[in-house]
Chains A and B, each alone.
Chain A
Amino acid sequence: MSFIKIDNLNIRLGNFHLKNCSLTVERGDYLIIIGPTGSGKSILLETIAGFYTPEKGKIFINGIDITNLPPEKRDMSIVYQDYMLFPNMTVFGNIAYGLKKKIKDKEKIKDEVNHIAKVLNIDHLLDRYPNTLSGGEMQRTAIARALVVKPKLLLMDEPFSALDVKTRSKLRSLVKNAIKEYNTTVLQITHDFEDIWSLANKVVVMKNGVMLQKGSLEEIFNKPSPNFVADFVGTNVLDAEIIGKDGDLTVLNVDNLTLYSYELDYNKHCNNGGYNKVKVSIRPENIVIENKNKDIYFKSERNERNERNVFIGKIKKIVNRGYIISLVVNVENIDFNVYITPNNIHSLNLKEGNEIYIIIKPENVRILYNSKNKIKN
């Protein structure tokens, strides 16, 4: 039995329709929901919280149907992007608010508040009012208020997106520790892939009120559903044909480009004339770039080391995304999305139109089996 089960949830709000959403969350999971604006992430979160009544479908916690329970009986708490700290209460008052409902012993309340305040490093702010705090301090207070009651499920709606990059990164590690200490199951919405890398163990991708794909990080990023999910998570998804075997490696043909992958047990799947048309996925951060002009012996050295998937490409586009630089590199008429750090782009002195080497380790070329191309056992 799953810890949290959302079964075929449907909700209609004006023109918006959340359709047939089903999900299971295990105790201790950190599940992140991503998707473009207007995909229904917040509505899903607030429906789970009891803010909206679903038209159809059920929500279970530990097998108990909570669909029609009022929010106060659900044993959850929520953290919003804009904090929602009660302005008429101090930081202490805000954190203690939920505890006062559960515990009558004032000393115990004080101890619990002091403890979480220490964990989240806001113990020096307890007497202050929210309007005197910085964004990061307010969000730490909001998280403390939500965590201190030890909810069965912590809901977070873009908790870090109103903060600057530095504060965001600090807060993530604080939250990670706090959640670990309080052993809380978390369901978070975000637009920021950094949140996913550093916090999540499960991901759901939503669009237009529909859950397009759910799974582990590995599944979503390395084996995304073709088209929208792959595009959204930035993964390169290419049509390929399995053409042979080279040692442990599977040899693939992608528009006359030969790619090697560790993914497939060739003998098991392809020897008897199985389906050989597949899709392959390559994460943009798993593509390494080397400057072509830097070292003329580069390619021969690589060949000596028997390295595969080394190609020459031309940089078509460079987009600065803040903490990451996104490149579009064209290799024999195939466009690859590549992520590199701002430091790398300066040290390699990369410009649009430059020719470069791209290197993809065979273990990073993942073969996707969609139903159409499924390989028979």
Chain B
Amino acid sequence: MQLISFRKSCIFATFLFTFLLFIAIASLFLVPNPKDILESITTAEMIYSIKLSIITSVISTFVVLVFSIPIGYSLSRFSFKGKNVVKSILDLPMAFPELVLGLALLILFGQTYIGKFLEYIGISVVFTKLGIVVAQVFTALPYGIRIIYSTFEEINPRYELVSRLLGYSELETFKNISLPLARNGLFASTIITFARCMGAFGAVLILAGGSYMNTEILPITLYLNISYGNIGMAITSGIVLIIISFLAILIFEKFEGRNSNSSKI
């Protein structure tokens, strides 16, 4: 009896919060005039913003994957000095506000020798499109690493030992066995990273600046237009972001559902 009421309470809490969230999201679609949205979505600013968001997010997602695969693998498979410290530092950006991350990156690329050296060789990060990518990469990297690390943790390392005893080197085994077995996790990581890059705001605003039709990605469009009082444009960028995130989560859930072995009571 007690179990049933506990179960009902849990399910009630689930529905209550889902309902509130759904209403909040639905209001974004229901409140504005559809004509406004259609007009906003075809403006040069919005098209520029969507294009820039997608291009920078695709590049950032690629960069995140390139780094998070070896990082996730080494954290999962190898023992080395300072591993726990490295893990904590890599997780830090998930815990502190994006604005702080943006500020830290601004100082790194603006005030330190690293930034000055990059400027010297012609690579400008601060207030440029490259800055958007850098901010997105630093924001999304901890999430990418987390998923890939968990994926490799779930793969029994004995598969790799079998392969190595059959004559394949560490790299060949990684390529032939570990990577194919991690395929689903890599896919999940790609989706989540991409969604995270699309939604990155605070760090992008501080490092790349929120300049109109220059470093303007969708969250910046929302921010700039709400500042000007242009609600139609702000809502439209919000809707586009939600649709992209929703599609990403939908794909992710589909993948999760297909691979989940957990039993349900």
A residues engaging B (CB < 8 A)? Answer: 46, 49-51, 70-72, 74, 76-78, 80, 82, 84, 86-88, 97-98, 101-102, 145, 149, 151
Contact = CB atoms under 8 A, between A and B. Distances in A.
Interface of B: 156, 158-159, 161-170, 176-177, 180-181, 183
Contact of B165 (A49, A82, A87, A88): A49
A84 B167 contact: no
A46 B156 CA distance: 14
Contact of B164 (A71, A82, A88): A71
A51 B168 contact: no
Nearest to A97: B166
A98 B166 contact: yes
Contacts of B161: 46, 49, 51, 71, 78
B165 A74 contact: yes
Contacts of B168: 72, 101
Contact of B169 (A50, A72, A82, A145): A72
A80 to B, nearest CB: 6
Contacts of B165: 49-50, 71-72, 74, 76-78, 151
A234 B183 CA distance: 49
**Would you call the interface of chain A mostly helix, strand, loop, or mixed?**
mixed
A74 B165 CA distance: 7
A76 B158 CA distance: 14
14 contacts: A49-B165, A71-B165, A72-B165, A72-B169, A74-B165, A76-B165, A77-B166, A80-B162, A86-B162, A86-B177, A101-B166, A101-B168, A102-B167, A145-B162
B166 A88 contact: no
A218 to B, nearest CB: 32
A98 B181 contact: no
Given A46-B161, A51-B161, A70 B166 contact: no
B181 A88 contact: yes
B170 A70 contact: yes
A212 B12 CA distance: 60
B198 to A, nearest CB: 31
B87 to A, nearest CB: 19
A149 B177 contact: no
Nearest to B158: A84
Contacts of B169: 70, 72
A151 B163 CA distance: 13
Contacts of B158: 80, 84
A70 B156 contact: no
Contacts of A145: 162, 166
| Residue picked from B161, B162, B168, B169, most chain A C-beta under 10 Å | B162
A253 B169 CA distance: 62
B180 A101 contact: no
Which 8 interchain pairs have the tightest Cβ spacing? A98-B166, A101-B167, A71-B164, A88-B180, A72-B164, A71-B165, A84-B162, A77-B165
Contacts of A98: 166-167
A97 B156 CA distance: 18
A84 B156 contact: yes
B155 to A, nearest CB: 10
A86 B159 contact: yes
Contacts of A88: 180-181, 183
Contacts of B167: 72, 98, 101-102, 149
A72 B163 CA distance: 8
Nearest to B157: A51
Given A97-B166, A101-B166, 14 more contacts: A50-B165, A70-B169, A74-B165, A77-B166, A80-B162, A84-B156, A84-B158, A84-B159, A86-B159, A86-B163, A97-B176, A98-B166, A101-B167, A145-B166
Contacts of B163: 86, 97
Nearest to B177: A86
A190 to B, nearest CB: 18
A102 B156 CA distance: 25
Contacts of A70: 164, 169-170
B206 to A, nearest CB: 44
* Most A-side CB within 10 Å, residue of B166, B169, B183: B166
A97 B164 CA distance: 11
Nearest to A101: B167
Contacts of B162: 77-78, 80, 84, 86, 145
A286 to B, nearest CB: 39
Contacts of A50: 164-165
Contacts of A82: 156
Nearest to A155: B165
A101 B167 CA distance: 6
A148 to B, nearest CB: 9
A112 to B, nearest CB: 13
Contacts of A101: 166-168
Nearest to A154: B165
A84 B169 CA distance: 18
A102 B183 CA distance: 27
Contacts of B170: 70
B260 to A, nearest CB: 16
Contacts of A102: 167
A86 B179 CA distance: 12
A145 B176 CA distance: 16
A196 B209 CA distance: 73
Contacts of B177: 86
B169 to A, nearest CB: 6
A68 to B, nearest CB: 15
Contacts of B180: 88
A149 B159 contact: no
A46 B157 CA distance: 12
Nearest to A79: B162
A77 to B, nearest CB: 5
A87 B164 CA distance: 16
